[in-house]
Chains A and B, each alone.
Chain A
Amino acid sequence: MNAASYDCIIVGAGVVGSLIARALSRYRLRILLLDKASDVGEGTTKANTAIVHAGYDAKPGTLKAKLNVAGNRLFDQLCAELDVEFERCGTYVVGLGAEDWTTLQELYRRGQANGVSGLSLIDAAEMRRREPAVSDKTVGALYAATGGIVDPFGLCIGAAENAVLNGVKLALETEVTDFLREGQRIVGVVTNRGKFLGRWVIIAAGLWADDLLHKTGVDGFRITPRKGEYFVLDKVAADLVHSVLFPCPTPISKGILVTRTIHGNVMLGPNANDVASKEDLSTTAAGLNEVMAGALRLVPGLDPRMVIRTFAGLRAAGNTGDFRIEIPQGLYGLLVLAGIESPGLTAAPAIAEYVVEMLREAGLRLVERPDYNPLRQGIPRFSRLSRAEQEALIARDPRYGHVICRCETVTEGEIVAACHAPIPARTYDALKRRTRVGSGRCQGAFDTPLVIQIMARELGLSPLEITLKGGRSRFLLRETKEVSA
C-alpha cells in the first residue's frame, strides 16, 4: 500500500498545532494535521484559563518571555482574521498584604525587561475604584493594559478551519502509534488509520509530547500533567468582576484567579496539583474547596450559589521550566514542541511563526501561495447580533428564528451551521464549543433532547449514535419498549 505523502505532518490539533498548520498553509506545502480525539482542541486547549497574558511573569531571556510578549501583540489581527472573540479588558495582579508589594514591583520590573508595554502599579484606592468587589485587604496592584480574555476553543477551531480552507488535510480520531524512519531521519508516522509519509513531522501533542518522543528514541523530555480545577459562575456574577484578577503568583502557578470570561461568565481557578495520569480530568472535593477559598480571598463577595459548572484541565508542564521548541539532536525531519504550559495560549500565535522560521532555516522551501486566504468566517452568533441583523438572518434562513438553548440564546440555525462547518461538530461537546449550546445556567437540561434530534438529522445518524464527546459517550442506550439486553 502506498502511504499518502506530505511535506509536513503536524501531530496534535490543539491551539498550537492548529496555528502552526494555519501558518504553514500560507505556503505551497502539502500539510496533514492529525489528532487522536474526535475534535480539534480536545486537550489542554479546551480546559484552561483563557487569558491572553501581558508577559510580565516569565523570566527575562526565556523563550516563554519572548513568545508570550510577541504572541500577545498578534492577537488583535489574528482574532479579527479568524472571527474569534477577544477582548483586551486589562489584567490585575492584586496585592493582598504589605509583603505583596515587593512581588508586584518585581513583576513590574520583569515586565519592563520583557518589553511589555502598558504596565502600571496602582494603589489600593485605585484598584478598588476600578474593581470595587476586590478584597479591602488589597494594597494595590500591577495593572497590565495589554492583558485580555479570549475564546480558546474558538481560536483553535478558527485556526484549524482556516488551515483546512487553505488546503490542510485534517485527520481526527487518528492516533500516532509509531514513527517511520530511515536511519537518522523521521520520514512519517504510523497511525490507527494507516501510515503517512512526511518530510517533516511536527509534534505538538501537549501532554503526550514526551511519550511520542520516546518512540523516536529521544530522551530528556518529561511532561508532568499538572491539574487545575475551576468553577464557572452564572453570568449574573459578571456584575461583580469586569476584568482579570490574579493574586500574587507562587513558584508553580499564577495562582487562583477570578476572571470574567469572553462569554460573560465569571470563572474561578485554577489550583495546581501534579497528577499521575494524563487522562485524569476529574475534579476533587479538596481541590474545589481550595479554589473557592482562594477566589474568596480575592473577591469576598462571590456567591458560591452562582456556580453552574466545575471542570479540570491539565497543564503540560515541562521539565526545564521553559518552552522547548527544538529539532532534536541527531535526528532529521522531526520538530518537537514540549512544555507549552501557561502562557502557551498567549504565545501560540508567536510559536507558530517561530516554528515556520525554524523550518525555513532547516531547509524547508517556503513559497507563498497566491490563493492563501487568511480570513475565516465563523458561524453566526445570533445572541451577539443587533435586532436588525437577527431579523436579516431569520429572513435568510428561518431556522435562526428557532431558539433551542434558552440560557445562551442559541438557535437551530447555528446548530445546523456548526454541523456543516469546514470542521463539523460531530459531538455535543464539539457543538457546545462552537455555539455555546448547553453552557448556560441550566447546563443543557432543556436543550439536550432537542439537540440530539437536530444533530442526528443533520449528521445522518440515529439519535442513538449521538455522543457527548465521541467514543463510548452515547447519550441514549436504546429505545423504550425494547426488551433490555
Chain B
Amino acid sequence: MRELRCDVLVVGSGPAGLAAAYQARESGAGRVLVLERNDELGGILPQCIHNGFGVRIFSADLTGPEYAGRWIRRAREAGVEFFTRTMVLAIDQGLKVVAANSQLGLMEIQAKAIVLAMGCRERPRGALAIPGSRPAGIYTAGTAQRLVNMEGYMPGSRFVILGSGDIGMIMARRLTLEGAEVVAMVEILPYISGLRRNLVQCVLDYNIPLRLCTTVTDVLGAERVEAVVISRVDERWQPIPGTQEELQCDTLLLSVGLIPENELSRMAGVALDPVTGGPLVDERYATNVPGIYAAGNAVHVYDLVDDVTESALRAGHYAAEYALRGSAELSRPIPIRPGDNVRHVVPQAIHAESLRDGALPIQFRVRQPIEEAVHVQIKAGENVLASKRLRYVRPSEMITLELEAGLAERVARVEALQIHIAR
C-alpha cells in the first residue's frame, strides 16, 4: 500500500472542504491534501447553477459553480493538493486514513490533523416509508438536479415534489424552465421547510401549486410512476380519510430533509449529536477525537453557503494549529444547551478563553415557527449574555448569535449556557 503523509487531510472538496484546506495552508500547515470522490471539485456546488452564493463573503451574487471556482482558485494558489475520484475507505483514531483511487490504488495517509467535510445526503423515500409501488421515476431533488444540470437529461415530464426544502423549490423552477410541468409541491407541515426567498422566486413566481398540510399517501404505477395520491393530514401528521386526491405524474421528487454524512466520523470514534446527526464540536470545530475537526453540512445542515465557508475557515485554522503544535491546553468545556423551542445548537460546547481571541458565532434552529417579534438570547442561569430581537423565528432559518469577545471571564465562571427564546 502506498504510504503518504500530510499535515492536514480534508475529506471532501465542497465549500467546507475547500475553505478548510485553504485556511489550513494560510495558517501555516505544510502539506494539505483534499480527497474528493467525484471527478470534479466543489462537492454539490457544480450542480447548483442558480444564484445566491457568496453574498456575504464576496459581496457578489454568484452561482454555485462560480462560488466553487473562486475557492478552488484560492485553495490552489495557497498550495493545497487535490486528489479527485478518490474515496476514503477508513479513518482511525491515530489519524490514519485509507483511501483508494484508480491511479494510486490503495493509499495509507498519516495525517497530523483531519477535517471531516463530507457534507450531507438527502433523505430517501424509504426513510419516510411512503406506501405504494416502487417504480422508476422517484428521485431525490438533488439527484434530479445533477441529472438535469450536469448530465443534461430530463428524468421526467410531469413532476410532483414532496417536501419544500430548498433544493426541491429550486428544482421546481429549474424543471419548469426546462419545459416540464410541476403539478404540485406538497408539504406535510403547515409551513415550508426551505427559505422564504426560494418560495417566492422559485414556486410562487412560477405559479406552482403549493399544498401545505398534505402528503403523498400512495404511489401508483408498476414500471414508471403513473400517479401519486396525496392526502391532507391532521395536526398529528396522520392522513385524513376522504381527502385523497390522485395526481397524474411520471415523476416524484423528494425534498424531505438532509442528513449529515458521518459514516467515516463514526468509524473514527467521533461522538455524534443525536439531534443534528453531526459531530459534537466545540468553538474550534474540534470533535472528541484529538486532531479530528469537522465543518460544514457534515456538522449540521446550513441554509447558506457563506455560513458553511465560515465554519470551515475556523475548522481549517484550528486543524493547522493542531498539526503544527499538537493539543492546546484548554480549560473546562462549557456546554451550550438548547432551551424551549430550540432544536439544536452548534457548537455544543465552548472554551471560555477562546472569547479572548474574538467573538464566537453560536448557531441554532427553532423547533416551531413564531410569527411575531421575539428575543433570542444566550443565558447563563438568569443572566443574559447575548440577545437580539427578531421579527419572527422559523425552523427553516438558522439563527446566529454572537458571544462577544469581552465575555471570557464571565463565561469562565458559569456551569453552562442556554439558548432561550423570549416572547
Contacts and interface: CB of A to CB of B under 8 A. Distances in A.
Interface of A: 231-232, 236, 279, 281-285, 287-288, 305, 307-311, 387, 390-391, 394-395, 398-399, 401-403, 406-407, 409, 441-446, 448-449, 452-453, 463-464, 467-485
B127 interface: yes
A309 B125 CA distance: 7
A430 B2 CA distance: 35
Contacts of B146: 449
Contacts of A467: 136, 223
B89 A307 contact: no
Contact of A442 (B103, B121, B179): B121
Contacts of B223: 467-473
Contacts of B219: 282
Contacts of A485: 157
Contacts of A479: 152-154
B156 interface: yes
A394 B239 CA distance: 51
Interface in B99-116: 100-106
Given A463-B153, A475-B136, A231 B106 contact: no
B126 A401 contact: no
B87 A283 contact: no
A463 B239 contact: no
| 5 closest residue pairs by CB, A with B | A309-B126, A443-B124, A403-B87, A468-B136, A398-B102
Q: Which range contains the number of B residues in contact with the other chain? A: 35 or more
Nearest to B141: A445
B187 interface: no
Interface string B168-206: 000000000011100000000000000000000000000
Given A445-B143, A480-B154, A482-B154, 5 more contacts: A390-B100, A445-B124, A468-B136, A473-B224, A476-B147
B278 to A, nearest CB: 15
B148 interface: yes
Contacts of A446: 121, 143
Given A449-B151, A453-B151, A484-B179, A474 B132 contact: no
A283 B135 CA distance: 12
A162 to B, nearest CB: 29
Contact of A401 (B103, B131, B179, B263): B103
B157 A401 contact: no
12 contacts: A282-B132, A287-B131, A307-B127, A308-B127, A448-B143, A464-B153, A476-B155, A477-B153, A477-B157, A477-B250, A479-B152, A484-B154
B151 A484 contact: no
B106 A387 contact: yes
A471 B223 CA distance: 7
B328 to A, nearest CB: 32
Given A308-B127, A402-B85, A391 B106 contact: yes
Given A311-B134, A401-B101, A479-B154, A449 B121 contact: no
A472 B135 CA distance: 10
B300 interface: no
Nearest to B231: A285
A283 B132 contact: yes
Contact of B180 (A310, A399, A484): A484
A279 B134 CA distance: 12
Contacts of B151: 449, 452-453, 463
Interface string B212-224: 0000011100111
Given A284-B131, A311-B134, A394 B105 contact: yes
A375 B68 CA distance: 51
Contacts of B127: 305, 307-308
Contacts of A285: 131, 217, 239
B129 interface: yes
B125 A480 contact: no
B122 interface: yes
Interface string B83-101: 0010101000000001011
Contacts of B1: 387, 391
Contacts of B150: 449
A449 to B, nearest CB: 5
B37 interface: yes
B287 interface: no
Contacts of A468: 135-136, 223
Nearest to A395: B105
B396 interface: no
B297 interface: no
Contact of B142 (A307, A309, A445, A477): A445
A472 to B, nearest CB: 4
A402 B37 CA distance: 9
Given A473-B136, A474-B224, A308 B124 contact: yes
Interface in B244-292: 250, 263, 266
Contacts of B263: 407, 441
Nearest to B104: A401
Nearest to B264: A406
Residue among A445, A464, A475, A481 having the largest count of chain B Cβ atoms under 10 Å: A445
A283 B105 CA distance: 43
Given A231-B129, A311-B134, A480 B98 contact: no
Contacts of A463: 151, 153
B106 A394 contact: yes
Given A398-B103, A445-B121, A477-B157, A406 B148 contact: no
Given A464-B153, A473-B223, A484-B179, A403 B100 contact: yes
A399 B102 contact: yes
Nearest to A286: B131
B100 A401 contact: yes
A442 B37 CA distance: 15
A394 B102 contact: yes
B136 A480 contact: no
Contacts of A279: 222
A311 B134 CA distance: 8
Given A308-B127, A402-B85, A403-B87, A441 B121 contact: yes
A118 B78 CA distance: 66
B311 interface: no
Given A283-B131, A387-B106, A448-B143, A394 B100 contact: yes
A417 to B, nearest CB: 15
A452 B133 CA distance: 22
Given A401-B100, A406-B37, A474 B136 contact: yes
B105 A391 contact: yes
B140 interface: yes
Among A287, A310, A453, max chain B CB count under 10 A is at A310
B141 to A, nearest CB: 9
B293 to A, nearest CB: 21
A472 B89 CA distance: 37
Contacts of A236: 266
Contacts of B132: 282-283
B234 to A, nearest CB: 14
A467 B155 CA distance: 12
Nearest to B105: A394
Contacts of B179: 482-484
Contact of A480 (B106, B134, B152): B152
Interface string B18-59: 000000000000000000010000000000000000000000
Contacts of B101: 401-402
Nearest to B259: A441
A475 B138 CA distance: 9
Contacts of B154: 476-480, 482, 484
Given A449-B143, A449-B146, A472 B126 contact: no
A307 to B, nearest CB: 6
A480 B153 contact: yes
